[in-house]
Each structure stands twice: as C-alpha cells, then as structure tokens.
Amino acid sequence: MGKTTKKRRGPHPSAKAELDVPVRVGQTVEVEITGLNHEGAGVGRIEGYTLFVTGALAQERVRARVEHVKKNFGFAKMVEVVEASTYRALPPCPLYDRCGGCSLQHLDYAEQLRHKQQIVRDNLRRIGGFQVEGEGAITVHPTLGMSDPWRYRNKAQVPIGEENGALVGGFYAEKSHSIIDMEACMIQHQANDDAVAVVKKLAAQLQIRAYDEQRHTGLLRHVVVKVGVKTGEVMVVLVTTEEEIPQRERLVEAIREQVAGVTSIVQNVNAERTNVIFGKKTVTLWGSDVIYDYIGPIKFAISARSFYQVNPAQTEVLYNKTLEYAGATGTETVIDAYCGIGTISLFLAQKSRHVYGVEIVPEAIADANRNAELNGVENVTFEAGPAEVVIPAWKEKGIRADVIVVDPPRKGCDEALLATILEMQPERVVYVSCNPSTLARDLKVLAERYEVREVQPVDMFPHTGHVESVALLVKDDIKN
C-alpha cells in the first residue's frame, strides 16, 4: 500500500530533475549563445533545449549556472565568459551585477541599437507574419538612439527599507524585493540622486522609521523624485504609511534648504499591504502642487501621480516622428486614442485642424485639459472613457478622422478599438508602441485594410531591453 501511495503522489514539486530535460538546477554548463531575447538575456541551446542566460551576449561561449528549468526552456546566470563577443562592454555602474534596473550595460551602445531594431523585425515577422526583407517588405529603420545615453531618467521611485538597523534606499535586486542601497544611478538624472540622498540622510537623522514590507511596520515606504529637465524644477514625494510624520516641519524645512531646485514637497499616504507605490491620498506639504517641463515647445504640468514620459529628450524624437507619420498639414481631423495627459495630442495640434483625445482615466483627462490651457491650445477636445465607446459616439456626431493615433499600454490595443479603426477607415493610422510583440499582433489585424509602410524604433530606455517604436499605416484602396 505504501508503494502504491507514493506512486500516486508522484515526485515532489521541487524535484526539477524529474523533468525530461538535459540540464538540472544548480548544474554549471558551457553553452554557445546565438542571440538575445527581448529582455536582453543570451539565448543558447543544449541538446536542443533553450537556455536563457543572464549576462551573456550573442556570439559568445560562456559557462553558466542553471537556476530554473521548465519543460521547454530554462534560465541560467553567467559565471564566466569563455569566448567574449567583440561587442562586450565594461559596465560603468559598480552595482550593475546586483541591481535589476538595467540589463544591457555590458553591450556596446551601438550594438544595443541594432539589437532593438532586430527585436522589432523579428516580432513583425514571427507574430505579424510580415515580410521585413526583400521586395514588398516593411521598412524597419535603424533605431534612433541618444548621443549621450546616460542620466536620462527624470523620475526616481526609490523603495526605503532597513538593513542591520540602518536606513537604506535604492532599487530592487533583479527578480526580488531585496533593496540594493545606492548613492548614484547611471541612468537617473543627477538631481534625482541628489534629492534621494538628502531625504535618506534626513530620515535617518530624524529617526523616521523605514517601512518593513514583511511586517507591515514603519513609516517611510518610498521617496519619489521628479525633475523638470528643461526648467530645473524638482518635486520630492514622500510615500508614507500614515498621515502623521514625526518632526514634519523640520524635515520639510531641511529638504527646502538642501535639495537644489525644489519647488514642491508632497506626501502620499499608502497604508495598504501592496506592491503599488501610491495610495489614494496626496497632500502638498510645501510649494506648488506641480512642477513644469517642456517637450519641444509644449509645456506640461506634472503632478505627483500624473504620468509623464521619463526620457523627455527621446520623447521629443518619438513625437516628432509621430507628427511626421500623421502627415498633418493643418486641415486634418485627428483622433488620439489613449491620449493620457495630452502629450501627443498637443504635439499633433500644432499642425492639425482639430485633435480629439480620449483616455479612460478621468484624472489624466483633467491634466490634459490643464495642459491645453497652459499652452493656449484651443483646437483640442478631450473626453474620458473607453476609446472603443467614445470614438463611435464621436462618429455618430459627424466627426470623421483623417488620422487616428494610438499609443496603448504594453498589452496593446483593445480588440474593439481595432474593429472601430477598421470601420472608421481613416486615411492614416499611426501606432506608437512600447511592446514589439503586441505591436506586431495588432498590425496583423489592421493589415486587413491598411498597408504597413514603415516602423521607426526609438531607444527611450538605453541599457535596458525595452524598445519603443512608431508605425505608419496607410489605407490600402485595393483592400477597401
């Protein structure tokens, strides 16, 4: 009976060796890397079994320790480079091998740009079924990168914790909630680093307890810093578990004295057991409720919780390409789906007759209206609601779009919105994407009536695996 019972139970779930795969957890293997995946990990194969190796590059032979295995693929971490790629670079960040913020500092920047172009091409071919080479192929342009791909992030969201009784603040180690204490981040604006360092020092001096997410105790959860790159204005946001901050006046006064450029000090209260950074209540402790920045000629008000692109220099590159693809001459009606706080809408309004923006988040629409008023832009209309509901309602009112611009989240466009676009048949569709795989999936749907002319990748996040792109679709009269 005992043997029968054991057979029914089967192997223990942790017995990964029971899987019929050629590697096991803890094993060190030597593997040749043939490419990189979308997260920047090396792709190798052992007896046909795919192994994703963190820290490895294409055209390298490495020794790696297997950390996790599944039926069809596994994960490993590089321990030694046996044969190095000519594109391998020395990461300038001393914490690069521990921090999870970057994944490609070890790859030459020019090669990062080529890799991101190839990621877009591969997704278009594999998921979308498009030709990316030869006659009739979609043109995927070389990735537009930065002349100086460092210190570009205008927003820091730094978790605060305790280690050996001391307050620490930094970024999480890769795939964990273990905080790596740090004084400087190579991709953060210097003003962010400076402000975080000041708050960490002051919190320690004033004995403000850091949050312990395991015990759900302590006060200070996160320090969020936003900087207006063009204006130099700095906002410091203290995310706390309670409204009451011990010695709050002293803390605020010290931040005012020691953080250069600070014009806004804000508190956000988040008492929940959650990984979400912000809670529902936000109060301004000192200064303005917002800071200001510019993307090109357009001025934006940025509040503690409003979304704003973290790399404004590359955002201007992306939006100028969007404006070019829209082909606006001043006579067109444009619909901007997923308009957010109106960033793309206000860019498009410069050369359009009228722009209609729709966004499901009411607070974002309030910000969009405020930004339109701030810039004296009157040829825009913003409405809150699902794009697939609002846009047909506009159509019923006689609004016909010459151009529809979409800038969806990573999950891509809602199916109903794609159907609405196909029904409305604007002359052009401009698709701004932060995820090449959902871009390819959605373009395949739109290709029913549109010719996908070209795609322009833009490197919004140097030294990470992320790639943004903008695609131009033109109505195909043959298909219509």
Write down the catalytic residue from 185, 339, 413, 434: 434
Q: Is 93 a catalytic residue?
A: no
Q: DSSP letters of 82-137?
A: EE--TTB---S-TTTTTBSS-S-TTB-HHHHHHHHHHHHHHHHHHTT----SSTTP
Q: Are 147 and 201 in contact (CB under 8 A)?
A: no
Distance CA 135, CA 293 (A): 44
The sign of the dihedral angle between the CA atoms of 281, 286, 288, 294 is negative
Distance CA 355, CA 381 (A): 6
Taking the alpha carbons at both ends of the chain, their separation in whole angstroms is 70
Q: Tell me, what amino acid is at 146?
A: M
**Is 211 buried (19+), middle (13-18) or exposed (0-12) by CB count in 10 A?**
buried
Q: Are 435 and 412 in contact (CB under 8 A)?
A: yes
Q: Are 49 and 23 in contact (CB under 8 A)?
A: yes
**Per the annotation, does 407 bind a ligand?**
yes
Residues in CB range of 432: below 8 A, 6 or more apart: 318, 322, 344, 405, 406, 407, 468, 469, 470
Conformation bin of residue 105: beta by default, left when phi > 0, alpha when psi is -120 to 50: alpha
**Per the annotation, does 319 bind a ligand?**
no
**Is 324 buried (19+), middle (13-18) or exposed (0-12) by CB count in 10 A?**
middle
**Per the annotation, does 309 bind a ligand?**
yes
The 262-269 sheet, strands edge to edge? 179-181, 166-172, 155-163, 220-227, 234-240, 262-269, 281-287
**Per the annotation, does 292 bind a ligand?**
no
Which 3-state string (H, E, C) describes 6-69? HHHHCCCCCCHHHCCCCCCCCCEEEEEEEEECCCCCEEEEECCEEEEEECCCCCEEEEEEEEEE
Distance CA 401, CA 421 (A): 10
Which residue positions form the known binding site for S-adenosyl-L-methionine? Answer: 309, 338, 359, 407
Catalytic residues: 434
